[in-house]
Each structure stands twice: as C-alpha cells, then as structure tokens.
Amino acid sequence: MRVFTAPLWLAATNCYVVSAGEGGPGVVIDAPPDPEGIAEVVRRANVVPQALLLTHGHLDHVGGAGRTAQAFGLPAHLHPEDEWLAADLDAQARLLLGLGGGEFEGAERYEALAHDAVLDLAGLRFRVIQTPGHTPGHCCFWLEDEGVLFSGDHLFAGSIGRTDFPGGDYAALLRSMAERIVPLPADTDVLPGHGSATTLARELATNPFLQDLPR
C-alpha cells in the first residue's frame, strides 16, 4: 500500500491519498479547504481517485469536498450523523474560527458511511469504525490487512480530539476509544487528521488520555 499526505489549509489538516500501487486507482481521505493542494497530492501519488472518504463533518476536513469531488468525479462518503455539520460550513467558519464565508464548499450529496461496513475501493478494504465524541458521526478507517488506521480527529500522537465544539461529547469519545480503537492490534500504524503518525502501541503506553481505559 502507498500513502501520500500533505498538511493543508490553516489547520494543517492531513489529506491522504491511498492506493494499492502506482498509476492505478486511489482513495482520498479528507478534503481540507485547499482543493489545489489536494490535487497536488493526487498528482504526486500518480493515481486516479476513485472515492473521497471523510472522517467527519468539520470545516477543515470537508471544506474542499465539493470542488474535489467535482474535479475528479468522486462520490463523497460521510456518516449521516455529521451531515448537519457539513450542511453549513460558513456557519462553522464564523462560529469556530471567526472567518468569513464563501471559500468553503461541501459535496452536493454524501454516500452514507455505516459502522462496521467494509468498503472495497481501489484494491483495498476499508473498514468503517464509527467513533463518536469529537463529532457524533466521526469515523476512522481501518485497513486490517495493511495494519493501518486513519484516525481522523479521534486519536492523535499524544492526544485526542477536542470535544468542546457543537456535537462533541468527551464521555462518548472515551467510550468509543475503549470499545472500538483500543482492542485493535497494538502494532497498528495510526495516521491522524493532524500532526505526525504514531502507533497504537505507543499511544497505549504514553498517551495520557488512554491510560485509564479498560484493556
């Protein structure tokens, strides 16, 4: 498996382009409000995008979904419980960042993600793991055969996602972490929505938010 990434836009949101090999189909994970930057990652990866997977409905992850989906003719996948967030990105910009609107464009429609669904895309198998907490419909994408978890804003190197935004729930985040992420193989590589890559073993050993979770 090949993974190309770039931290894009003001929030340095990691956009990933994933493929089984060079020159074939690929998958884009998350679409910050920088469609030109996303297109450059796709170019570097030398793939033909087949789908856009969105971990959650926050502006910095879906603000470029519309133009990216249009440019490459992609279906955009988002959990239905986050569609209310993606429906008004300008309101998010004003509320969360104090920014004006106009530069953000979600997808015209979203294919519904569902917990434990398996998506066979670009020669890879993505298992959807819904992890409520940062947002109600937040999803991680687990490639079991490759030992990789795209964790969005649920789990970071040394930290976890914020829960003080609308729809956030700290107790729900810890519960979904304990029930759905901690049981994954410890040698899983974790590729988060912001910051550097890590491993589940490292986070279980050192992340202060995971220390009291049941194992």
pLDDT in tens, 153-178: 999 999 999 999 999 999 999 999 99
Q: Are 63 and 86 in contact (CB under 8 A)?
A: no
Residue 145 domain flag: yes
Name the 3-class secondary structure at 16: strand
> What pLDDT score does 215 carry?
83
CATH number for 89: 3.60.15.10
Residue 6 domain flag: yes
Token code pair at residue 105: 């464009």
Tell me which residue range forms the domain holding 106. 2-206
What total of structural domains would you count in the chain? Answer: 1
Residue 161 domain flag: yes
Residue 29 domain flag: yes
In angstroms, rounded to a whole number, what is the distance separating the alpha carbons of residues 35 and 121?
Answer: 21
CA torsion sign for 127, 132, 136, 140 is: negative
Residue 19 domain flag: yes
Token code pair at residue 200: 């589940």
What are the 10-residue block averages of pLDDT along the chain, 215 residues in total? Answer: 97 97 96 97 97 98 97 98 95 79 86 98 98 98 98 98 96 98 98 98 98 90
Please state the pTM of the whole predicted model.
0.97
Residue 111 domain flag: yes
Residue 85 domain flag: yes
Token code pair at residue 211: 């220390």
Residue 211 domain flag: no
DSSP codes joined into one string, 30-76: ---S-HHHHHHHHHHHT-EEEEEE-S---HHHHTTHHHHHHHHT--E
- Beta bridge partner(s), residue 29: 16, 53
DSSP codes joined into one string, 162-203: ---STT--HHHHHHHIIIIITTS-TT-EEEESBS--EEHHHH
